[in-house]
Structure 1
Amino acid sequence: MVYINNWDDFMQAAQELLIKSPDKTRYLIKYRHVDAQLVLKVTDDVVCIKYKTDQSLDVKKMERLNNLFLRLMPSQKIDAEASSSILADIESEAAQQQAQAQTQHHVPTEGAEGKKKKKKGK
């Protein structure tokens, strides 16, 4: 089993493995709460690659890989072109979601809680 330290290299190797043998490729996500480590494993029983991280920011990267595999696995045709076009779609969707999240601001409105009613004195 080979641990790949660079995310982009792991993503590329996982894509190539899925393209090479789509019927046999499996994808495993394992999280150890005790160690706070996330381990991603892609294998086709001949080649096994792993990526280990303890960074919470890598969860977004994992979502990208998960979306790629979920879209490619049921496809009729799995090749480099399909993989790269699906990955481009995933990245553009992620960029749109990030842009929407940045443009949405929570502006508190003054409602019933914001204004106090004046009591009339006797």
Structure 2
Amino acid sequence: MVYLEEWPVFLSSVQNMFLNKPNKTRYSVKYKNGKVALKVTDDQECLQFLLDPKYDFEKLENINAWFLSNMSRLPTEQSSV
């Protein structure tokens, strides 16, 4: 899998993916080899970005806040009981 190298490109692509398919988009954060790996997928496209936690912590905070804010606005599916 390929990692995007420019943060603005990654962020705008992630936002477009989520806004187009909010119920299919998943977001994960993993710490590996001293870096933070961000992965966003909608099962058709996969976007990845590596952050250095020493220098890019604000970017991680911003994308987490964006996802939490937007995911909390999604309507919940009502189950029929």
Q: How does 1:73-88 map to 2 (within 5 A)?
A: 73-76=71-74
Runs of 5+ consecutive residues of structure 2 not aligned to the other structure: 76-81
Runs of 5+ consecutive residues of structure 1 not aligned to the other structure: 78-122
CA distance in 1, matches of 2:42, 2:18: 8
Residues 1:75 and 1:53: Cα distance change in structure 2 (over 3 Å)? same
Range 55-64 or range 41-50, more displaced: 55-64
Give the deviation of 1:3 after TM superposition. 1.2
Residues 1:55 and 1:45: Cα distance change in structure 2 (over 3 Å)? same
Structure number having the greater strand percentage: 2
Structure 1 counterpart of 2:64, from 63, 66, 83: 66
- State the structure with bigger RCO (CA 8 A, min sep 6), 1 or 2: 2
Could you list the structure 1 runs, at least 4 aligned residues long, displaced by more than 3 angstroms after superposition. none
Once the two structures are aligned, what percentage of the paired residues are identical? 37
CA distance in 2, matches of 1:8, 1:27: 17
CA distance in 2, matches of 1:55, 1:19: 27
Structure 2 counterpart of 1:54, from 52, 55, 60: 52
Which residue pairs with 1:26 in the alignment? Answer: 26
CA distance in 2, matches of 1:76, 1:23: 8
CA distance in 2, matches of 1:17, 1:44: 7
Q: How does 1:1-122 map to 2 (within 5 A)?
A: 1-32=1-32, 35-76=33-74
RMSD of aligned residue pairs (Cα, Å): 1.5
Per-residue displacement from partner, 1:12-54 (whole Å, max 9, x unpaired)? 011001001000101000002xx21110001011110000133
- TM-score in terms of structure 2 length: 0.84
Structure number having the greater helix percentage: 1
CA distance in 2, matches of 1:54, 1:69: 20
Give the deviation of 1:2 after TM superposition. 3.3
- Rg comparison, structure with higher value: 1
Amino acid in structure 2 at the alignment position of 1:70: L
